[in-house]
Amino acid sequence: MTEANPRPQLAHLTAVLDDLRAKGTYFHLRVLDDQQAPVCHYDGKEVINLASNNYLGLANDPRLIQAAIDATRTYGVGSGAVRTIAGTMRLHMELEEKIARFKNVEACVVFQSGFAANAGTVSAILGKEDYILSDELNHASIIDGARLSRASIKVFRHKDIAHCEQLLQELAGEPGRKLVITDGVFSMDGDIGPVDKLAALAEKCGAIMMVDDAHASGVLGRNGRGSVDHFAMHGKVDVQVGTLSKAIGSLGGYVCGSRDLIEYLYHRARPFLFSTSHPPSVAATCIAAFDLLEKEPERIMRLWANTRYFQGELKRIGFNIGGVTTPATETPITPIIVGEGRKAMEFSRALFEEGVMATGIAFPTVPEGKARIRLILTSEHTRAQLDQALEKLERVAKRLGILQ
Ligand SMILES: *Cc1c(COP(=O)(O)O)cnc(C)c1O
């Protein structure tokens, strides 16, 4: 026990931290000094930023900033209540109607975050008699929602339709409802969930189909409409979750589906009922962001052009960007597989010193032995910035023995 914490009550926490230090996976928070931009400053150091989820540069788009300022001037800084008491503002309703039209569904409800949307929805629509069939790499918010629902959780191997089908067949005689759930894009590997095949399977077995499009929103499908649009599965997915925190540039999560699904969530989703709604600035920002998605598809084209260029160069240099013992990326999420956790963290730190912000990710976020740095391209990176980052990545990787 350290001297700084002489009280024994929380000594078990200190022990965990000591263990992380010993394993080399303890981290400090890096602090952003300016805007979430392709080149910015963390801890006072200028870096090429390849770590954010600001896919389309919307987090600091001048028009979105103006929308936030205008809404704040007109409506104030807070909503003052949960949605069901007195905190539903006209802007909240406008945003939901806008998203529902964009996604071509009957209705939409916005939550405070994507995490709240997943956890609040899964736990509300199922009960302890029911079953959840969940991809092994699904996001933590799905897992927490599944646990909160008290339904039985059956985990299928990553993107393994046959395994999911086998689990569903084993449950065929059970009276409980079944929910099949997958990420639209998997956040650590960047591969796309088999939404088309899973939805067809769910349909065949009478199961509910749900997709978490956090990393697909604004990235996949026409104008960034997500994985259901990407696979042309409109009407075949009962529950579509998206986030407003990544490509949309602000904060929040949403659920799209039938009018009854949304009305039910108004009455039963606990983050909706028991946590205050977004400030008006957030709703106004998101409304402006969906306008931009519809008006400026060229942002998404630039995002994909940057992705193809950068991933092609990484492969040419000889990096393992997945596809051998880990899934192959199909999106702007770009892992560089390193293996050992300590080494991945060392790579990330050394890159930072050279001026590249690249997140190190180790167990338990990814499996043991598959630690990595994860890079995310945006539409706003210039070719010159990407070339500079590639040069630094190669030099540092060679120095650390990650590349020969
Ligand atoms: C980021 C993420 C979430 C959470 O979204 P927030 O809006 O950041 O809370 C949910 N699911 C997946 C797959 C994610 O990557």
What's the gap in Å between 9 CA and the centre of ligand 1?
33
Per-residue confidence (pLDDT) for residue 5, from 0 to 100: 61
Q: Which two tokens stand for residue 51?
A: 């770590």
pLDDT in tens, 10-38: 999 999 999 999 988 888 899 999 999 99
Vertex 313 angle, CA 312 and 319, to 5°: 95
Which among 55, 112, 115 is the best mutation to test ligand 1's pocket, defined by most ligand atoms within 8 Å of the CB? 115
Nearest-atom number in ligand 1 for the CA of 186 is: 13
pLDDT in tens, 351-380: 999 999 999 999 988 999 999 999 999 999
C-alpha closest to that of 371 among 402, 332, 342, 398? 342
Highest CATH level, class, for 60-295: alpha beta
Per-residue confidence (pLDDT) for residue 179, from 0 to 100: 98
113 CB near ligand 1 (under 6 Å): yes
Mean pLDDT of all residues belonging to the chain: 96
Phi and psi dihedrals of 154, rounded to 5? Answer: -115, 120
The pTM score is: 0.96
pLDDT at 404 exceeding the cut of 90: no
CATH fold, domain 22-51+297-399, is: Aspartate Aminotransferase, domain 1 (3.90.1150)
- Residue 147: other Cβ atoms inside 10 A: 14
pLDDT in tens, 104-127: 999 999 999 999 999 999 999 999
Band (pLDDT 50/70/90 cuts) for residue 281 is very high
Per-residue confidence (pLDDT) for residue 83, from 0 to 100: 97
- Rounded Cα distance between 107 and 133, Å, is 25
- Rounded Cα distance between 168 and 159, Å, is 15
**Is the four-CA dihedral 378, 53, 348, 157 of positive or negative sign?**
negative
Report the pLDDT averaged over residues 59-81.
98
183 CB near ligand 1 (under 6 Å): yes
List C-alpha distances in Å: 348 to 62, 115, 397.
31, 26, 10
pLDDT at 315 exceeding the cut of 90: yes
Band (pLDDT 50/70/90 cuts) for residue 403 is very high
Query: Domain extents for the chain?
Result: 22-51+297-399, 60-295
HSE on the CB side for 348, CA within 13 Å?
A: 30
The reply to whether 22-51+297-399 and 60-295 are identical in fold is no
pLDDT in tens, 134-168: 999 999 999 999 999 999 999 999 999 999 999 99
Report the pLDDT averaged over residues 181-186.
98
Nearest-atom number in ligand 1 for the CA of 138 is: 13
Per-residue confidence (pLDDT) for residue 27, from 0 to 100: 86
Report the pLDDT averaged over residues 65-81.
98
Per-residue confidence (pLDDT) for residue 15, from 0 to 100: 95
pLDDT at 2 exceeding the cut of 70: no
- Residue 266: other Cβ atoms inside 10 A: 14
